[in-house]
Amino acid sequence: MSVHRFSTLYVADLDAIERNGDNRAALVRVKDAFPGLTLWVDNGIGSLDAAKHFLESELGHLVLGSETQTGLDLIRHVAQDPRVVLSLDFRTDAFQGSPTLLDQPACWPRRVIAMTLARVGSGAGPDLERLRTIRDAAATDTTMSRQIYAAGGIRDAADLTILQELSIAGALVASCLHDGRLRGEEIAKLQMRL
């Protein structure tokens, strides 16, 4: 069943994140089958060498999860690369990663995901307060315009409309697509408003 022609697919390679192998072969098959699709891949990378290797592979855009970063060095080194996305990961109210990363938006890349892990798959609605906080923090650095993406709890088109009104650039959606609460025609209408 086809829902919508998405241009980007976010993939969390949980095996790689948990250091239990990886799903690179499956990602290559997806990339080969859909060459026009941009993959955003979070695979637990925390070192500069691994980041360079992934980016050289041209498999997709690299999502650096804050929970796998030990400091700011890697983020600072690759932040100017347009293929890098930072995921600021939160479990309940606790930030997962170095507090200095959260406090220094000047080192963030152009695209930032605000990921509320407890809400992923929950249908509890997006964490609007956290999204506002991240959006406002990103705006304090006027040297780079940043796009903020919501992840966790998106229920339907009404949530996406609220996110648009808050100047959130996009959202990671899955559960609401699977259960039919978000339909392709609704996504198309929202995209036309951009």
For residue 31, what are the contacts with CB-CB under 8 A and spacing of at least 6?
37, 39, 59, 60
Nearest to 67, CA basis, from 97, 27, 105, 47: 97
| For range 171-182, the mean pLDDT | 87
Task: Report phi then psi at 110, rounded to 5.
Answer: -65, -30
Residue 11 is inside which H or E element, if any?
A: strand 8-12
| Distance, CA of 183 to CA of 2 (rounded, Å) | 10
For the question of whether the overall pTM of this predicted structure is more than 0.75, the answer is yes
CB 11 within 8 A of CB 41: yes
Looking at residue 44, its pLDDT comes to: 95
> Domain spans of the chain?
8-192
What is the model's pLDDT at position 194?
59
Q: Is 2's pLDDT higher than 90? A: no
| Distance from C-alpha of 117 to C-alpha of 97, rounded to nearest angstrom | 13
> For 37-48, b where at least 16 C-beta lie within 10 A, e where not — what string?
eebbbbbbbeee
pLDDT digits (tens, 9 = 90+) for 103-135: 999 999 999 999 998 888 777 889 999 999 999
Percent of the chain, pLDDT > 90?
75
The CATH number of domain 8-192, selected from 3.20.20.70, 3.30.465.10, 3.40.50.2020, 3.40.50.300: 3.20.20.70
Q: Per-residue pLDDT for 165 more than 80?
A: yes
The pLDDT mean for the chain works out to: 92
Q: Which residues of 105-124 are buried (b: 16+ CB within 10 A; e: fewer)?
A: bebbbbbbbbbbbebbeeee
Among 188, 183, 149, residue whose Cα is nearest residue 166 = 149
Q: For residue range 61-75, list pLDDT tens digits in order.
A: 999 999 999 889 999
Q: What is the pLDDT of residue 1?
A: 44
